[in-house]
Amino acid sequence: MAVHAGRPARTPGAPVGPGIELSSTYVQDGPVSYGREDNETWRAFEAAVGELEGGQAVAFSSGMAAVAAVMETLPVGGRVSVTPDAYHGTRRFLEERMPRLVVSDDSPDLVWVETPSNPMMAVTDIAAVVRASACPVAVDNTLATPLLQRPLDLGADVAVHSATKLLSGHSDLLLGVAVARTDEWAAKLRERRSRHGAVPGPFEVWLALRGLRTLPVRLERSSASAVVLAERLGGHPAVEQVRYPGFGSMLSFDVRGGAAAADAAVARLAVVVPGTSLGGVESLIERRHKWPGEAAVPPGLLRLSVGLEHVEDLWADLAAALG
């Protein structure tokens, strides 16, 4: 699916991959009226992600734009139950929208699940949440990707990704995507994309589709390395605790000595790059507690996004930095 979904029809002389549709304006009375409504390049990317997730994908200008589109399907005063340690951008969005949206576990209108959570790597049983919920369930599937977890198959109504991260995989674009299980949800998401203007650039979408083609091999390599690093970090005397969900390319670990010791270790790294994103070909690390809204994260916790470098190079770098 990752390699072939969204490609043009196999007719003689046709390109193997889709091109970039750059027009904002179209001749009237056709299937597309204006560039904010639809785009041929969007459709190719959405077809690929939709097939991988098992639903209808809608691309957005960023991951937060996709999050906002899902949240703002709720009426004024709508109640959202959210994973306590969800991405701080999601939590800050909800805090800023109060009282338009209310964060509450009591009779929610939407349950928002992030699994694994960022940066604590907690895993939630999606199917159990769906069974216990009398309202729609949305899942942030950024860290797992549809290769490791398909929320719609487990009963969720929407799966959301920051496609900036693992789906595109090269740290060179901003993009989001929400995948709906039903026509109704897909229509609501497309309407909000158009009304709010949170439309993606065709070039960014084309780059994301190109990156998506290699997701299986990238994730296989980085996940295998993450398993090795999680095990070795767990035995290192400078590490108090390793948080690894057992799958995927993301992990976090608590450095003995707290914030000062963690910052000193990051400063000594030569291969792993200090950076605030994840899911790229390069390994990235950062101390999450320093960000506003991450006060509940342990001060010495380092989040590590494992890239495609040789695992022994990564381990040598981490071991030397930890001392």
Whether residue 140 lies in the annotated active site = yes
Distance, in Å, from the CA atom of 228 to the CA atom of 190, rounded to the nearest integer, reads 41
Catalytic residue among 7, 36, 79, 210: 36
Q: Check 91, 97, 140, 213 and give the catalytic one.
A: 140
Dist. CA 173–CA 56, nearest whole Å = 22
Instruction: Tell me the residue ranges of DSSP E strands in the chain.
Output: 56-60, 78-82, 101-103, 110-114, 137-140, 158-162, 176-180, 239-243, 250-255, 273-274, 284-287, 301-305
What does the DSSP 8-state code read for residue 51? H
Does 165 qualify as catalytic in the annotation? yes
Catalytic residue among 43, 165, 181, 193, which?
165
- 26 noted as active-site residue: no
**Is residue 4 exposed (0-12), middle (13-18) or buried (19+ Cβ within 10 Å)?**
exposed
| From 43, 87, 193, 254, active-site residue | 87
Joined together, the tokens standing for residue 208 give: 């994301």
Tokens 């009226």 sit on residue: 33
Mark whether 38 is an active-site residue. Answer: no
Exposure string for 129-142, b = 16+ CB within 10 A, e = fewer? bbeebeebbbbbbb
Q: Which residues are catalytic?
A: 36, 87, 140, 165
